[in-house]
A and B are shown apart, each in its own frame.
Chain A
Amino acid sequence: MQKTMPSKHKSYIKRAQLFGTVLILAIMSLTSLLVTGNAGAAQITTRSLTISSGVPSASSQTYTYGFTTATTAAIQSIEFEACTTAIGTCTGPTGQTINAGTEASRSGWTNATTFVRNATGANGCTPAANVLCLDRTQVAGETAGARTLGWNTQTNPSTANVAFFIRITTYSDAAWLTSVDTGTVASAVVQTLTINAAVAEILNFCVGSSIVNDATTSIATDCTGVSGTSVNIGTLDPVSVNVSPINTNGGDNKNGVAMVRTNASNGTVIYYDAIQQSGTNHLGTLRISGASCNAGSVSTDQCIDAQGATQAAFTPPTEKFGMTIGGTNCGSTTSYSCVYASGTNNLEPSTNYVGAAANAYGTSNGFAWVESGTATQIADTPGATKVIDDEALVLRFASISAITTPFGSYTAQADFIAVPTY
């Protein structure tokens, strides 16, 4: 049996149904409004801002915006609003001015019409130091997609190490009324970081002996591989000149070497000075230590006459002792092209110690030796490039005895000194 509702109850039900219907319609209506609102300003994606300099207060900067529009629609105006925060109330970053400049670059735009700054603005865009209003007349739609827009004459915020945000809104009309897409990009200006570094003064200078007798074969990787403190030019003879390296009659088949490595930018000079031995007269030449020798050129004493400061070839049987530089050995140089034969070496033998003409390796120019102990220059860096990377002077010693030169063991000693100027 079916019960019959009271009319009062029916009335309540109808009212409830009506209220429900109204509520549903109201919700549907609101939902419709919300959906309509979201569809009107879609999110710009893949957003970026590239600033040409992150230095605070830097002017004349170009800000290049990159973004992907979500909506295919005309873009006839854009608002760029610089703020200290990404969302919420916008406060312009201190010192920043973006309301200036012209379009500097673009890519990805469907329509070629450029944007121009509008100093007046309207509706959704009110120009200010932190607000840039751009517009153009271009009713044709822009296809949704990636694009860039560069804008010049921008001034960075003045506060270092603070981020700033630029809110971007595109409009389909030319009066910032109907927004299409929106999004925010961020960047920061940072304190200029000055990086200082010190390059220490370098001098690696060594003197030793080597069997190398050319300008190309590596003597050693660097000074750590140079050894030896002497050269023996063997048994002298009045009929021929002994020139190092001598590999017979007691010679040790070696030359002297002086290797230099330095970053001295004002040049380097190499000197030698003959160490004064004991005895009388001619203390700095090839002599028997302790011997009493005669002043002047005497070939019967126990001092072999030094050639002197002026280079000359030796002619038998006049006794002589001297030194020259066979060439600058580049075999260990790695920092730059160094070829003695081509003259690309930086360390050059000096006048009176150039072994042979025209950068040839040899001793045909003769020898010199200053026996007084005075520092005598034998090489320097005359070219534009002054630094030296393990270039080595090949020191070649020569002597000849007279028939009357007393027999015995003869020795010459020298200091070699490098003077770099930093």
Chain B
Amino acid sequence: MAVKPLLTKHHSLARILLLSFISLLLLPFFTFQASAQQLTGRSITVSTASPSVAVTHDFRFTYVSTSSVGSLVFEYCDNSPLPYQPCNAPPGLDLTPATLSSQTGNTGFGVDAIDTTANRLVLSRAPAASTATPSEYVITGFNNPSVPSSTEFIRIATYATADGSGSFTDNGSVAYATTNPFLVGAFVPPFLRFCVGITVASNCSSASGNSIDLGDLSASHASSAQSQFAAGTNDTSGFSIYSLGTTMTSGNNVIPQLNSPSPSIAGTSQFGINLRANSSPSVGQEPSGTGSAAPTANYATPNSYMFSDGDSIAASTLPTDFNRMTVAYLVNVSAGQSPGIYSTTLTYMAVVQF
């Protein structure tokens, strides 16, 4: 019965020896872990996430220890933020031309060009006690790493020495991601919006009517009517609008067209149009809209009418928003005008060059 306690004792001793051995193995690790404090509130703001382009890195963090600090080290790694892991330098990164453009909080640092390497930036100062305050360091003068869609870790550490050597005091890591520029694409097609009708909306969203009845023509007074068109274009040279057709006819009988701008004369056979608001007779409206189109000269004088097949009656020399124009029709007949039903078909055409 005395054997069992002895076995228990041996078992316990073996366990103790094993634990002691493991503890000894782990001791350096634990000691290392316990020696450093974490910088708090750590962040990095990059001016651009695009690979291989000039960049500014704005580091912010709060010191924890108040012991002497002679250097700050920013070590860039693309594999791990942990300080006891090997560091793989991000491809394309070269910190040697980096400069410290501003610093706040714990200040007095400058770039240690001797100890700075391609992926390890050392900021140095005469060793002095640090304060546990938020600090900011803006680094510029270098390019982002070249690999897109990659997470870059920066291991930040404070050192008592002025050259980033020895054991660090406080440390912590930050991270940012390189991303390719994101593109938004769209296509704007050539636009020519043109509509014709008795009435049209100012933006061509509607148009109605395609026929005018002037009633019985009389030698004692002018007959008149109106129609509208609207147009807009993004053609850089604008557009021209033409009227195509003939004067009013009835078989072989013709109401003569006005070949030059002329006033309305009752009792004289004449047919013409213009694009203005007229008082003699009262017909038509002024052009409207924010566009730059305008009636051409022969059709731009109130109370002055003209018609010529194929004439440009309105134009813009620039891209233009919508303009709505009202075509005023004037018909006078003489007492000797042959009776009949007179009519004509006019076509309006907008031309752009793109």
Tell me whether B153 is interfacial, beta carbon within 8 Å.
yes
Which of A102-110, A111-119, A396-404 binds B? A396-404
CB proximity of B183 to chain A, nearest CB, Å: 4
| A410 and B182 in contact, given A43-B1, A163-B13 (Cβ under 8 angstroms) | no
- Cβ of B6 within 8 Å of any chain A Cβ, yes or no, is yes
Contact B203 A317 (CB under 8 A): yes
Question: For the complex, is B114 an interface residue (Cβ under 8 Å from A)?
Answer: no
CA distance A386 to B238 in the complex (A): 56
B50: interface (CB < 8 Å)? yes
Q: Is B233 an interface residue (CB 8 A)?
A: yes
**Interface residue stretch chosen among A58-66, A169-177, A189-197, A356-364:** A189-197
Q: Taking the nearest CB of chain B, how far is it from the CB of A46, in angstroms?
A: 11
Given contacts A201-B81, A230-B184, A406-B188, contact A417 B49 (CB under 8 A): yes
What distance in Å separates the Cβ of A68 from its nearest Cβ neighbour in chain B? 14
Identity of the chain B residue whose Cβ is nearest the Cβ of A404 in the assembled complex: B319
Q: Are the C-beta atoms of B174 and A422 separated by less than 8 Å?
A: yes
Select B176's contact among A191, A206, A414, A419, beta carbons within 8 Å.
A419
Count chain B residues whose beta carbon lies closer than 8 angstroms to a beta carbon of A: 67
Contact indicator B175/A201 (Cβ below 8 Å):
yes
Q: Is the interface of B mostly helix, strand, loop or mixed?
A: mixed
A-B complex: 6 closest residue pairs judged by Cβ atoms: A86-B5, A203-B175, A205-B177, A230-B183, A163-B12, A403-B232
Q: List the one stretch of A235-243, A327-335, A342-350 in contact with chain B.
A: A235-243
Chain A positions within 8 Å of B23 at CB level: 191, 193
Rounded to whole angstroms, the CA-CA distance of A198 and B189 in the bound complex is: 57
Once A201-B81, A207-B182, A250-B187 are accepted as A-B contacts, the answer to whether A87 and B5 lie under 8 Å apart by CB is: yes
Interchain CB contact under 8 A, A413 and B186: no
Known A-B contacts A165-B5, A236-B188; the reply to A194 vs B30 at CB < 8 A is: yes
List, in ascending order, chain A residues with CB within 8 A of B48's CB: 273, 275, 415, 417
| B233 CB contacts on chain A under 8 angstroms | 403-404
Q: Which listed residue, B29, B44, B205, B236, touches A239 by the CB 8 Å rule?
A: B205
For the complex formed, measure the closest distance between the CB of B41 and the CB atoms of chain A, giving whole angstroms: 6
B211 at the A interface (CB under 8 A):
no
Q: Is A294 an interface residue (CB 8 A)?
A: no
A204 at the interface (CB under 8 A from B): yes
Q: With a CB–CB cut-off of 8 A, which chain B residues contact A388? A: none
Chain A nearest CB, measured from B9 CB (Å)? 6
In the complex the two chains form, what is the Cα distance from A412 to B174 in whole Å? Answer: 30
Q: Which residues of A contact B1 (CB under 8 A)?
A: 43
A408 in contact with B6 (CB, 8 Å)? no
A376 contacts the other chain (CB 8 A): no
Does B345 touch A at the CB level, under 8 Å?
Answer: no
Contact A401 B188 (CB under 8 A): yes
Q: Is the CB of A300 within 8 A of B12?
A: no
* Given A86-B5, A205-B177, A421-B41, CB of A407 within 8 Å of CB of B190: yes
Compute how far the CA of A275 lies from the CA of B181 in the bound complex, rounded to whole angstroms: 8
Q: A203-B151, A234-B187, A405-B188 are in contact. List 11 more A-B contacts (CB 8 A).
A: A86-B6, A191-B23, A230-B184, A231-B184, A256-B182, A300-B318, A321-B184, A403-B232, A412-B183, A412-B184, A422-B43
- In the bound complex, CA of A250 to CA of B185 (Å): 10
Interface residues of B in 78-100 (CB under 8 A from A): 80-82
CB proximity of A16 to chain B, nearest CB, Å: 39
Residue of B nearest to A196 (CB): B33
In contact, A416 and B184 (Cβ under 8 angstroms): no
Instruction: Please report the C-alpha to C-alpha distance between residue A229 and residue B179 in the assembled complex, in whole angstroms.
Output: 9
Determine whether A299 belongs to the interface, using a CB cutoff of 8 Å to chain B: yes
> B9 to A422, Cβ gap below 8 A?
no
Of the residues A162, A200, A233, A403, contact of B322 by C-beta under 8 Å: A403
Binding site for A on B (CB under 8 A): 1-2, 5-6, 8-9, 12-13, 15-16, 19-20, 23, 29-30, 33-34, 41-50, 60, 80-82, 149, 151, 153, 172-177, 179-191, 193, 203, 205, 232-234, 236, 291, 318-322, 354
Provide 24 A-B residue pairs closer than 8 Å at the C-beta atoms, listed in order of the A residue. A161-B19, A184-B5, A194-B30, A200-B81, A201-B81, A201-B173, A203-B175, A204-B151, A230-B182, A233-B185, A234-B186, A236-B188, A242-B186, A304-B186, A397-B184, A402-B234, A404-B191, A404-B319, A406-B319, A407-B187, A409-B186, A409-B187, A414-B181, A420-B174
Q: A129 contacts the other chain (Cβ, under 8 Å)?
A: no
B186 vs chain A, min Cβ distance (A) = 5
- Is A155 among interface residues, defined by CB-CB distance under 8 A? no
A337 to chain B, nearest CB (A): 26
Selected contact of A407 from candidates B151, B153, B188, B321, CB within 8 Å: B188
Contact A193 B19 (CB under 8 A): yes
CB–CB A229/B181 < 8 A = yes
Residues of A within 8 A of B151 (CB): 203-205
Give the distance in Å from the alpha carbon of A186 to the alpha carbon of B4 in the complex: 11
B185 near A186 (CB under 8 angstroms)?
A: no
Tell me, rounded to whole Å, the shortest Cβ–Cβ distance linking B292 to chain A: 9
Closest partner residue, chain A, to B316 (CB atom): A404
Please state if A404 and B188 are interface contacts (CB–CB under 8 Å).
no
Q: How far is the CA of A413 from the CA of B53 in the complex (A)?
A: 15
For B44, B48, B188, the residue with the greatest tally of chain A CB atoms inside 10 Å of its CB is B188
A266→B41 contact, CB < 8 A: yes
CA distance A212 to B13 in the complex (A): 63
B16 contacts A231, C-beta separation under 8 Å: no
CA distance A375 to B55 in the complex (A): 13
A180 within 8 A of B: no
Bound complex: CA of A84 vs CA of B264, how far in Å?
135
CA distance in complex: A416, B184 (Å)? 13
Interface centre among B12, B48, B184 (most CB of A within 10 A): B184
Residue from A198, A235, A275, A417 having most chain B Cβ neighbours under 10 A: A417
- Report whether B49 and A162 are in contact in the complex, using a CB–CB cutoff of 8 Å: no
Judge if A202 is at the interface, Cβ distance under 8 Å: yes
A335 to chain B, nearest CB (A): 18
User: Once bound together, how far apart are the Cα atoms of A236 and B189, in whole Å?
Assistant: 7
A411 in contact (CB, < 8 A): yes
Of A397, A399, A405, the residue contacting B234 (CB under 8 A) is A405
A219 within 8 A of B: no
| B234 contacts across to A, CB distance below 8 A | 300, 401-407
Q: Is the CB of B184 within 8 A of A235?
A: no
Bound Cα distance A251, B43 (Å):
38
Q: Give Cα A86 to B4, complex, Å.
A: 10
| Contact yes or no, B9 A207, CB < 8 A | no
Q: Which residue of B lies closest to A317 (CB)?
A: B203
A230 CA to B185 CA, complexed, in Å:
7
Question: Does A215 have its Cβ within 8 Å of any Cβ on chain B?
Answer: no
In the complex, are the beta carbons of A161 and B16 less than 8 A apart? yes
Inter-chain CA distance A343–B35, complex, in Å, is 42
B19-A403 in contact (CB<8A): no
